[in-house]
Amino acid sequence: MLHIVNKSATERNSLESALRMVTKGSAVLLIEDAVYAATQGSVAAAKIQSAMADVQIYALGPDLDARGMSSRVLDGVKVVDYSGFVDLVTEHNSCQSWL
Amino acid sequence: MSDMMDDMEEGGEGVVKKFMFVNRKAPHGTIYALEGLEVVLISAAFDQDVSMVFVDDGVYELIKGVNTKGIEVKDFSKTYRALEGYDIEKLYVEKASMDARGLTQDDLIVDVTVLDSAEMANLMAEQDVVISY
């Protein structure tokens, strides 16, 4: 399962809910305002770091760039571009968008 | 609001009110940040006493080093630097909001005054009009 989150973790609870429902081997892709969670010093960083024990976390590069956050990405989070986004969708049996 | 219009139409020397624009949303994910900025620029034409404050995810609006090419939207972060030219010079950021996001003043594209939450509350309380996005 690929979990896609697009809301800021400091405004909505989508990321929190998604991370509560992930199973080992799943992946979480952060896009749009959700990318802030994968940056150093954010209050959501600890949640991302503990989730990385079981799941791979990805963040969409163009969304990080547009928010001035590219240089602050947490270690262990993989940055993907749009074709990487497509690859993730095709690699997983199903997707869940936590709108 | 109609009182304010009357004052302005009558002699040009309208009553100056204290307006505060509260920005609480990250840029790009929603339209609030950009629309809020447009309203502030419009308000500059009315010669009012305008303050802009940035709290919660609103502090992300002021981050340096933005490149929006990849998502094909307008980069309006530089517009905050133009506010000075419109005599909008009172920019305030809440310290707790910056701390929660691992940000410091060095990460911001404009000079701001950093306030603690109590100072921000007092500033908010002394306004005539508060408009929040």
Phi-psi region of B111 (alpha: psi -120 to 50; beta: other; left: phi over 0): beta
Longest CA–CA separation in chain B, Å: 50
Condensed to tens digits (0 to 9), the pLDDT of residues A59-89 reads 999 999 999 999 999 999 999 999 999 999 9
**C-alpha distance from B23 to closest chain A C-alpha (Å):** 13
Nearest Cβ partner for A68 among B29, B56, B63: B63
Instruction: Give the residue extent of every domain in chain B.
Output: 2-6+15-132
Q: Which domains does chain A have, with CATH numbers?
A: 2-98 (3.40.1260.10)
Query: Is the CB of B56 less than 8 angstroms away from the CB of A69?
Result: no
Considering only CB atoms, which chain B residues are within 8 Å of A6? 29
CA angle B133–B115–B62, rounded 5-degree value: 50
**pTM, full prediction:** 0.90
Closest-CA residue to B93 (of B40, B55, B51, B41): B55
Closest-CA residue to B23 (of B50, B61, B74, B66): B61
Quote the ipTM score: 0.89
pLDDT band at A17; cut points 50, 70, 90: very high
Question: Which class in CATH covers the domain with range B2-6+15-132?
Answer: alpha beta
Tokens 């002699």 belong to which residue? B11
Record the tokens describing residue B26, joined without a space.
């990250």
